[in-house]
Amino acid sequence: MSEKDTISIHLVREALLQSCAPGVATEEVLGKVGIDPALLHRPEARVPASDYARLWRLLARRNDDEFFGMDPRRLRAGSFAYLCRTGMAQPTVRAGLEAVLEFLSLIFERLPAQLVTQQSLAEIVLAEPEDEARRPFTYFTYWMIVHGVACWLAGRRIPILAIELRCEAPDYCDDYRVMFSENLRFARPRTRMILAADCLDLPIKRSPQELQRFLGHAPANILVKYRDAQSFSSRIRHDLRQLPAQQWPETEGLALQLCMSASTLRRRLAEEGQTYQGLKDSVRKELAIAWLAEPAISFAEIATRLGFADVSSFYKAFRKWSGSNPGHYRSLILNESQ
């Protein structure tokens, strides 16, 4: 079992926090889904995504709530299937996503949402009441449902450029970064997910048979299928982030560092649907997005940090990555009052 098919025990504890009484009840629930209760006391432990999915379904049946008891109004059992049917009945991914958000906004008391598009960027904004922020797990479970269904409707991963949350950063973020984006920002004025909008106008072509297969494997499929990393690719991305872009090795140099041939490196990346150039572009995009959120860092400095010859080359690359120019993205991410 590869790590990409596992879930941290931290998220198991989060799932149980408001949906299951501690003690004997917790042990009984975990035993039924094949998770050893002793793992709760081992912070490094991980469980199969399939076990976590069984836990989600069991708690949903017991409590008649597919949202772990995290909103005063329950997301009653069967709601996930209904919102999938509602979304797939729409002509485009944009319309499907809007229908999903409308349904969830009607159900939840504290998580009303809106899809807003500006040029080639889109954002899902939670118009929360001006009181205490929700738990990080609440937000990420919401994003898991919304983004997972949107990706299924599109038939591909919809790239997440950034996620901002009103809450403080939790002690554990690793799985969240793998599932969603490296660019997570906490203690922000609003909770929102920023997306590349190029997928939103795709037609939805999902059949009832595909829906049944999707629901039959949910939520395990949305927990792992649309993650933005594979283990080998993730290792290379991590190594690239530790170096200035000017020091990134070429393919042959990287292969030598990994004690393999260049052809083996290319083959292993190809098995994960990746290329080395694609990974470098991905890391450059992550870094660019993070630095664009810091107004004191000029476009020229960002271009230099990323190893571009000049600002115009950076502009061209950023438009290719995100569909937006850096100035528009910066104005969106820094517009806290909108």
pLDDT band at 324 (very low <50, low <70, confident <90, very high): confident
Extract the runs of DSSP E, i.e. beta strands, from 99-258. Answer: 113-118, 121-126, 160-164, 184-185, 191-196
3-state percent helix, strand, coil for the chain, nearest multiple of 5? 55, 10, 35
* Predicted confidence (pLDDT) per residue in 284-298, tens digit: 988 998 899 889 999
Q: What is the pLDDT of residue 63?
A: 95
List the structure tokens of 110.
């504290």
Q: What is the pLDDT of residue 337?
A: 39
Strands 160-164 and 46-48: unpaired
Q: What is the pLDDT of residue 161?
A: 86
Q: What is the pLDDT of residue 250?
A: 94
pLDDT band at 183 (very low <50, low <70, confident <90, very high): confident
pLDDT band at 251 (very low <50, low <70, confident <90, very high): very high
Helix (H) or strand (E) holding 222: helix 220-224
Q: What is the pLDDT of residue 60?
A: 94
Q: What is the pLDDT of residue 177?
A: 87
Kindly report the pTM of this predicted structure.
0.77
Integer Cα distance of 101 and 111 in angstroms: 10
In this structure, are residues 193 and 116 in contact, taking their beta carbons and an 8 Å threshold? Answer: no
* Predicted confidence (pLDDT) per residue in 260-271, tens digit: 999 999 998 887
